[in-house]
Amino acid sequence: MGADKTDVMSFDEGFAFLGEDFGPRYPPMLEGARSPEPDKKLLYVARQGCRVAVRRGRVIVEHDEAELLSVPTSQVGRLVCFGSVGITAGCRTWALSQDVSVTLASRRGNFLGSIVNDSWPARSSRVRAQLAFEGTDAEIAAARAIVDSKLGHQITVLRRFGRRQHADEVAEAVHQIQGMRRMLPEAATRDEVMGLEGAAAASYWPCVGLLMPEELRFSFRSRQPPADIPNAAFSFLYTLLLGECVTAIHAAGLDAGIGVLHSTEDRRPSLALDLMEEFRPLVVDQTVVAAARRGALTAGHGQAPPGKSGVWLTAAGREAVIDAYETRMLQTTKGALAGFAGSWRRHVYRQAQRLRRTIEYREPWTGLSWR
């Protein structure tokens, strides 16, 4: 290579290489801290008929009187139960007293609810602030910012996983999503903001399906029930993410039922869904596509539920996507938020705190930087 084509460049100053810009706006991964071992871990219990108890300082999972797992309570930071899994009174008492959240989901993975400690100081004043925030210009501005961040992350997913043979389809989907982003500043109501999000999704999901391995390709996003393995994986991991967002919202002293973007009229954790929006592509979509592309999620990871339509993940499929999800959530980054570094899981909690400041003090809310 000629000397005139060789140079030493700086990420601090920024540079261009092969048509791509590099610089400080890209949040780099922290050296040597990609997936640190957490002090406390999440315990997932999905085997039907199990019971979770706490005895002598240990969390114990039992099935038919046989002990399947026993770990010190000090090592469990959160509990996620799927389907017919029992929780003893002693376990509930321990969880509430130690601020260990419990997420409850159906066997298929649909979010049902959470058990969280509801005794944060000054929570009543924050709930009043949430009610006062409803219907204001600041609320619509925050709703627009939430959707704008989500659409930006969707574009990143498409560009990151796009391949030369699908360049035209990716370019067209990105063009359509960018068009929706440009229209967001003119959206004057919550319904208009949600309409633009839905229009962007109509371009995003078919393109995501095209970028999957051939045996896992799909044409549209299907939810209840999922029509294929990738959609089952998306729905399953969205449930896990929603449970974490509910906990983060409660930890910030907010009421999860009073939404900014999502309607507060439905019986759902609307504010947690708001918090979750930008993390859908950043965490879950990225995780599922990457798992499929490297062969961790395969065509053999689906099963037809007896007497029902749709597709469920097999036990091996759930294990594969949970492992990929945890790896993603433990990745440590800096630069996604100014002056803050930590795992993506910590970013969920930080964004909940920033959402609280937006509601209480009308501070502008901005999404995470991810490129």
Token reading at 348: 């969920």
Residues 6+ apart with CB under 8 A from 89: none
HEC string for 256-304: CCCCCCCCCCCCCCHHHHHHHCCHHHHHHHHHHHHHHHCCCCCHHHEEC
76-82 and 101-105: which strand pairing?
parallel
In DSSP terms, which residues pair with 180 in a beta bridge?
none
Annotated binding site for Mn(2+): 197, 262, 277
Structure tokens at 312: 């469920």
Amino acid occupying residue 258: I
Q: DSSP string of 164-204?
A: GGGHHHHHHHHHHHHHHHHHGGG--SHHHHHHHHHHHHHHH
Sequence-ordered alpha helix ranges (H) in the chain: 89-97, 123-133, 137-161, 167-183, 190-210, 229-251, 270-276, 279, 286-293, 315-330, 344-361
Quote the CA–CA distance of 115 and 95 in Å, as a whole number.
8
Residues of each annotated binding site: 197, 262, 277
As a whole number of angstroms, the distance between CA 325 and CA 328 comes to 5
CA distances to 192, 205, 225, 341 from 199, in Å = 11, 11, 21, 33
279, amino acid identity: F
Using an 8 Å Cβ cutoff, are 146 and 359 in contact? no
Pairing of strands 20-22, 51-55: unpaired
Other Cβ atoms less than 10 A from the Cβ of 325: the count is: 21
